A and B are shown apart, each in its own frame.
Chain A
Amino acid sequence: MGILRLCAWLESTQVAGAIRESTWLFPTIETIHVLSIVLVVGSIAMFDLRLLDLASRDRSVTEVYDDVMPWTRASFVCAVIAGGLLFSSSATKYYANIPFRLKMLTLLLAGINTAYFEFWTRRGIAAWDHAAHTPRAAKLAGGISLVLWIVVVACGRWIGFTK
């Protein structure tokens, strides 16, 4: 089954129809989506800034990670669920939308960046957790993440301004 047909099916489901036809469902889910995204971006930025040595330098990297990441993950799950529901309401339209595609691509890149950090860079954290400076790989991970999330938000906003 092609992606476009999958989108068409998604759009034909009852849930999608209900979101499309209701006057308040879409804005309500969109509000949840925005609230989740601002929490994802804001909390991940705190950790990225720590990786970049630009904030919370009085705390170890692990301490900031443990404080922030559970909230980032929970908010991300909410953002994906709410975003999925919004997507379903006009799946074929969003699928064809360039900012939407860019947003998904950027999310994928952010995921790869996070995976690389989790499985490689963070493995050796004991050596620099309390150090005066974070290593270059950590700074790179933080910088890339920060830029990618800014692009995600920009693309998300642009979806509303394109046909």
Chain B
Amino acid sequence: MVQAFCDWLSNTPVSLKIQTVLWIIPAVQTVHILSVSIVMASMAMLDLRLMGLAGKRQPISRMVDRFVPWVWRVLLILAATGTILIIGEPERELLNWAFRTKMAMVATVSLITLVVQQVNKRDATFWENRRIAAAAVGVVSLLLWVAIVTAGRWIAYV
């Protein structure tokens, strides 16, 4: 079924346009990577702070408020540019296990980030008072982000 969808999608005028205009894919990938930079650096800062390894001059709640809204906005850009790349090369992405793993991890880490943000909204000292839980969330989140970038790069190789 996915194969049939890919066949249909790759023959749509939009997809054919992306396939024939050679600068579209590298240009969209560039915007995608720049967006990854913003999300990755923001989340690395926050995760390291949750682990107690960096940025200790700021309370955790301040960092959540500073970085997470950016992450949500930029994730929208990532979804948009990612969708363009899928339309351009549906088989390369949708039938690729690295891509599927990446999407599952993006969903998981988004959910974790949402929980961190919502808990922080109700109680600004929650994570500050639970060091072990905060560190655990930081470790899992950071590992997921690293794995997401890794899976993203390996889409081209598997």
Contact = CB atoms under 8 A, between A and B. Distances in A.
Interface of A: 27, 30-31, 34-35, 37-39, 41-43, 45-46, 56, 59, 63, 67-68, 71, 150, 153-154, 157-158, 160-161
Cβ-closest 5 pairs across A and B: A42-B41, A42-B37, A41-B37, A38-B37, A154-B30
Contacts of B37: 37-39, 41-42, 45, 153
Interface residues of B, number: 29
Contacts, number: 77
Interface in B110-158: 146, 149-150, 153-154, 156-157
The residue among B33, B54, B58 with the most chain A CB atoms within 10 A of its own CB is B33
Interface in B35-77: 36-42, 44-45, 54-55, 57-58, 66
Given A67-B55, A67-B57, A27 B153 contact: yes
A78 B65 CA distance: 30
Given A56-B66, A154-B30, 11 more contacts: A27-B156, A27-B157, A31-B154, A34-B153, A41-B34, A43-B45, A46-B45, A71-B54, A150-B30, A153-B37, A158-B26
